[in-house]
Amino acid sequence: MYDKNNVFAKMIRGEIPTNKVYENEYAMSFYDINPMFQTHVLVIPKGEYQNILDFSQNATPAEQLAFWECFNKTADILGIECNFNCLANAGAAAPFVKQSVFHFHLHLVAGNRTDAFEELVSEFR
Ligand code: AMP
């Protein structure tokens, strides 16, 4: 069940500060608070969707269009044309990187690795 008190829901409601890159009616993007790469932005729908499957199965066509419009504009603003990664973690037991905020988000990352990334990968060694 969707938790209305997750940190992204609070950002959408304007209850906590957000370093926004772009926003439209149904989606927004903002800088990750703990960047793993030189550029690390999260793209989220404003609707209450727990993960990528929930979003792709249940979001309206308008919400889905707006999400991809936000993704495209964000990449454009950041100057990312190629050489980036896009990642969606789903579930607290996801095998690669676990989902920690249960509101669907795409990580959009580019550029050099940060110390936070080195710390993360050290857990796999
Ligand atoms: P995930 O592990 O895929 O659920 O990723 C959640 C991401 O949200 C992490 O990369 C966090 O650094 C990021 N995050 C958590 N709180 C905030 C916040 N207040 N502002 C921006 N990013 C956040």
Contacts of 13 (CB under 8 A, 6+ apart): none
Longest dimension (CA), the chain: 43
Confirm whether pTM is higher than 0.95.
yes
pLDDT tens, position by position, 75-90: 999 999 899 999 999 9
33 lines ligand 1 (CB under 6 A): yes
Tell me the CA–centroid distance for residue 97 and ligand 1, in Å: 12
d(Cα 37, Cα 117) in Å, to the nearest integer? 7
Structure tokens at 45: 């729908």
Return the CATH fold of 7-122.
HIT family, subunit A (3.30.428)
pLDDT tens, position by position, 2-45: 999 999 999 999 999 999 999 999 999 999 999 999 999 999 99
Structure tokens at 11: 């950002």
Domain ranges of the chain: 7-122
Mutate-to-test residue for ligand 1 from 101, 103, 108, 120, highest number of ligand atoms within 8 A of CB: 101
User: Ligand 1: which residue has its CA nearest to atom 15?
Assistant: 33
